Every structure is written in C-alpha cells, then in structure tokens.
Amino acid sequence: MTNLLSQTSMDDIFHKELIDRKNKLYSYTLPIDFFDPVEFYNYQSSIFSGNRFFWKSSDGLLWTVGLGIAATISNVDPENRFQASNNKWNQIIKDAEIDNPSGVPGTGPLLFGGFSFDPYSEVEEEWASFGHSILYLPSYMLTVAGDQYYLTVNAISNDLVPIESLREKANRFVQHLQNDENLLKEHPLNIKSSIEVAPEQWIQSVDEIVNILKTTDVKKVVFARKLLLEFEENAQPSYVIKRLLEQQPASFVFALEVGDYCFLGASPERLIKKMDDHVLSTCLAGSIGRSQNIQEDQKLGEILLKDQKNLFEHELVVSMIEDALRPYSTEINIPDEPILMKMPDIQHLYTPVTGKANDDFSIFTVVEKLHPTPALGGVPTKAALEIIREKENMDRGFYAGPIGWTDYQGNGEFAVGIRSGLLKENKAFLYAGCGLVSDSVSEEELKETRIKFQPMLKATGGEIL
C-alpha cells in the first residue's frame, strides 16, 4: 500500500515540546470498528518506532496504544517533576479545542509515561534518554474501553487547525489502518547469554542491610538487582508484549519507547486509579511462590497469610497508602485483613484501598505522595533510599517507578513498574527486588528475586533460573 505519511506528509505529525503559550492543542476522537491493539502498536512501525506506548489495565477493560508524539512533557528538575508535569498538562488542556462526543475515560487528549524511581541516583547509560520523567501526548491513539473502540488524533500547532481537518485526517488514518496488509513479521527470541549481575556481592549487601535493620530504627529496605540478556537477534517489543498478554492476563501490561529503548513489563501492582470521583489504590506486599499441585499451592497461600514477616511488610504499605490518600480523599475504606492475589509465578498479600476524590485530588499530586510506597522503597522512606543508593550498585531507572496515564478530564491510572525490563536491540536488562526486614535471610531473598524475574524471562524466551 502507499505509505500513509507520503500522502499526509510528515508535517501532519506535530512532534515538538510545548515551550510557550502560543502552541495550542487540537484533538478529535471518533468511534471505530474493532482493531487489535497489538496490530495497532505495530502499524507503520518503521516510522513510529521509538515514539510508541502500550497499556492494558489489569482487568482488561481499558487499553490505550499511542503512535507518534504530538508533544512531550519531560523535566530536568528532580525536586518538582510531578508538580511541573501537572502544571504543563493543565496548560496544554486549558485552551485546547477538543471534539470528543463519547467522553469515555481514556479517550481524547491523554498523557502516557512515567517517572524514574529515584531522580537522585547515579544515572547509567541505558536510562540516560529517559530522564527524571517522560510523558507523551500521542499523535494517534487507539482506546479500547470495554467492547468499544476509539481513535483520537492530536495536534499541537501555532496555527489554527480546524476540527474538520482533524476529522478528515482521522478518517484517512482509519481507512489506511484497515487496508494495511504490511503486517510486521515477528520472530521468536533466542537467548544467547543470561548473566545474573554479581549475585554473591548482592547476598553480602543483603546481610549488611539486615544488620542495619537490626541495629537502627530503619524497619524495611527494598533491595533490587538485575539480569542481563543477550539475544541472537534484535528484540521486537511487540513480540514480548504478546507473550506478556498471554502469560500474565491479570497484570497491567505496558510499554514505553524512548528512542532505541523500550521499557516494558507486566505489573501486578496498581499505584492509583481515578475514574470520575472513584479512587482505588492497591497494597501489595509480602509474597511466596506457587505450586502446580493444588493442595501444595493452597498450603503456600495459608503460610503467607500467617507469616509475621510478610504481614509486617504488608501493614507498613497499608498504613502509608492510607496516610497518603487521606488529604485527597473521603470515605476511605480498608479491609481489616489482606487476601491473596495469585499470579502465575507468585502469590502476594493484597489489600485494596478505596475512596472518593475531593476537590484537592490531582493524579500527579497523589502519585507523588504515594511514590515510593514501602513495597518499593522502604520505611522510613528517606533512610531506605539512602541505603539503596549506597548498596544497590545500579540505576533502577523507571523500574519500580510510576507508569501510566491521565486524560484531560482528570481520570487516570498508574501502576508500579515492576516485573519489567528494558529492551535495546539484541539486549535486555531485567529487574527484580525484594523487601528486607530484620529477620530476612539473604539466600531466601535471592530465591524471591529469581521468582520475580520469571514474567519477563518467560516472555523473552528464557529458561527458569
């Protein structure tokens, strides 16, 4: 088929930073027929590669896939990155012209992206292009809400862009999309090498941290490590996304491309969700493995529900999330005891926290208050982060950071970027962590991280560690 962009020209995709108030957002949304989200992600991949994102909610009721970049919001100030992102987004939508009759959450102008775990850690090469935060307003976006499909087209321009021209552009895009026969041929990944980074040194560091926990007021430190993979050929993000969707159906599946890099994963952990005035957060801390034997698996779950170490870890998270949400929510409801969340490779203690958003609620503000939860950082947060910086010997980048979306109506959802990895060409960096408390045993914690490597390792064709 004729290349879409040869007809509409590269000028049709506005890719620029919003640096002044002269730029204006124009947005148009229309309902479309069924279109597979992964095929949409792959559409014109030679053109859009490096400027794409993918999101599936954990319940599968909302999917958003973006192609091209109408605008990017990024921040160089680590201190005010959440509030700066909020202010820039409000500036963009304040005077925008938006035609979205559906009003469905996740349609219309939407930002997708994330924030690094710790903006004060020493940046390593693989994360340099991500910065402290990066959020995309896509040029073209597919939204799947329940069984309804929508296409949103966004443009940022100094000149008047009539909505009618965006409507024509959207209709042309849909026509080319539905007639495209140039499907990307995906190839299975073959792992050439797999290297656990300094496991002996990591175990020694765990022992040192446990000693700190026994002799100071620090209650918990979440400690992570990474696994390096090299493939026989370049990795295609869509291949990994498909396998994550198949293997981790109850997880958030996400991908964020920045140039040659793609951060992607299948996270079980919601940070915050806001739909209209309904607020939901997730306390997910304390874990144990799974068994293929039903009785043994049930026994493992019962052990977890009674394990004091894991219950202590979990309660730290529950308490912190409640404190973070209370200034911005009313009618907060928290169950008295956790239940089990069973994922394919691991089971967790799980407590949902619900509430009603008040007038002060802003999703970026709440994300800032929640990040990092004790499930990803530790308690107290400041002391735990200092220990992580000193002992972890790696840059987490966006691993364990907030990743998700927010729309022009204030709806949104952010997950915690765990069970994740970073792809670049024929290499991948996989990340996993565990919560350390005063009675942690280093060898057991090493085993736990190996379990947590499994979702990404399986999705990239690796063997079980």
pLDDT tens-digit map of 307-361: 998 998 899 889 999 999 999 999 999 999 999 999 888 999 999 999 999 999 9
* 222 and 173 assigned to the same domain: no
* 367 and 235 assigned to the same domain: yes
Report strand pairing: 24-32 vs 97-99: parallel
Report the pLDDT averaged over residues 207-213: 97
Residue 226 lies in a domain: yes
Residue 185 lies in a domain: no
Local structure of 123: helix, strand or coil: coil
* 303 and 444 assigned to the same domain: yes
* Pair of tokens at residue 428: 């991948």
* 423 and 445 assigned to the same domain: yes
CATH code at position 303: 3.60.120.10
Beta bridge mates, 262: 257, 423
Q: Mark whether 220 is an active-site residue.
A: yes
* 234 and 322 assigned to the same domain: yes
With a pLDDT cut of 70, the percent of the chain lying above it is 94
* 302 and 450 assigned to the same domain: yes
With a pLDDT cut of 90, the percent of the chain lying above it is 83
Classify residue 323 as exposed, middle or buried by CB count within 10 Å of its CB (0-12, 13-18, 19+).
exposed
Question: Kind and range of the H or E element at 127?
Answer: none
Over 70: is that where the pLDDT of 4 sits? no
What pTM does this model have? 0.91
* Pair of tokens at residue 462: 């690796």
Catalytic residue chosen out of the listed positions 24, 88, 220, 273: 220
pLDDT 10s digits, 109-153: 999 999 999 999 999 999 999 999 999 999 999 999 999 999 999
| pLDDT bucket at 463, cuts 50 / 70 / 90 | low
pLDDT at 10: 32
pLDDT at 187: 79
Catalytic residue chosen out of the listed positions 226, 257, 269, 313: 269
Which of 122, 147, 179 is at the close of a domain? 179
Q: What's the domain range around 432?
A: 191-459
> Which has the minimum average pLDDT: 19-23, 26-30, 266-270?
19-23
Q: Are 344 and 455 in contact (CB under 8 A)?
A: yes
| pLDDT bucket at 464, cuts 50 / 70 / 90 | low
Residue 425 lies in a domain: yes
Q: Mark whether 306 is an active-site residue.
A: no
Residue 286 lies in a domain: yes
CA distance 428 to 226: 10
Please tell me the total count of domains within the chain: 2
pLDDT at 179: 84
* 209 and 172 assigned to the same domain: no
| pLDDT bucket at 77, cuts 50 / 70 / 90 | confident
Residue 184 lies in a domain: no
